[in-house]
Amino acid sequence: RIVEFLQEEYIVTPLEATDKWDAIRQLAAFLKRTHGLTELTVDDLVESIEEREKSISTAMGSGVAIPHAKLPSGPDIMGVMGICPNGIDFDAPDNKPVHYIIMIATPREHQQRHLQVMAAVARMISDTNTRAKLLVAKTPAEVYEAIEVESKENYNYFLED
């Protein structure tokens, strides 16, 4: 389920970032630390995300961005989430600031699962009620609780292996 992908320990709020690249760097460091990525540096993760961002922004509009990195290998897809209460410019298609950043790192051998995760995250975060609850959450526990409640009520997605 999507709530298993975004556990409380993988959420940072508030994410105090000065701009898009600061947010990406902070979340890449958080991802590396929380998921024990010893084989990669923060720079490796940022470079992978930067490649994608240079071709097209991963900001979806409505205050949401889903930057993603490709990993050379690994057991499964991993992710972290940052909530920026004040919002940051992320080159969004609607020119609105981004408040919700879900960073996903996918081993190359899990590309099909990557698409499932991206779709599930996009559906969950596209709901205005969910976004409103996330924005007022003050702690990672409150963010996780909001995701879990919405997941049970509306977005009980199972990510197939």
CB 72 within 8 A of CB 29: no
For the chain, what are the domain ranges?
Answer: 2-153
Query: How far is the C-alpha of 92 from the C-alpha of 60, rounded, in Å?
Result: 6
Architecture of domain 2-153: 3-Layer(aba) Sandwich (3.40)
**Tens place of pLDDT for every residue, the chain, 161 residues?**
566 678 899 999 999 999 999 999 999 999 999 998 888 899 999 999 998 888 888 999 889 999 999 888 877 888 999 999 999 999 999 999 999 999 999 888 877 777 788 888 777 777 888 888 888 888 999 999 888 876 665 544 444 44
Question: What pTM was computed for the model?
Answer: 0.86
Query: How far is the C-alpha of 140 from the C-alpha of 73, rounded, in Å?
Result: 28
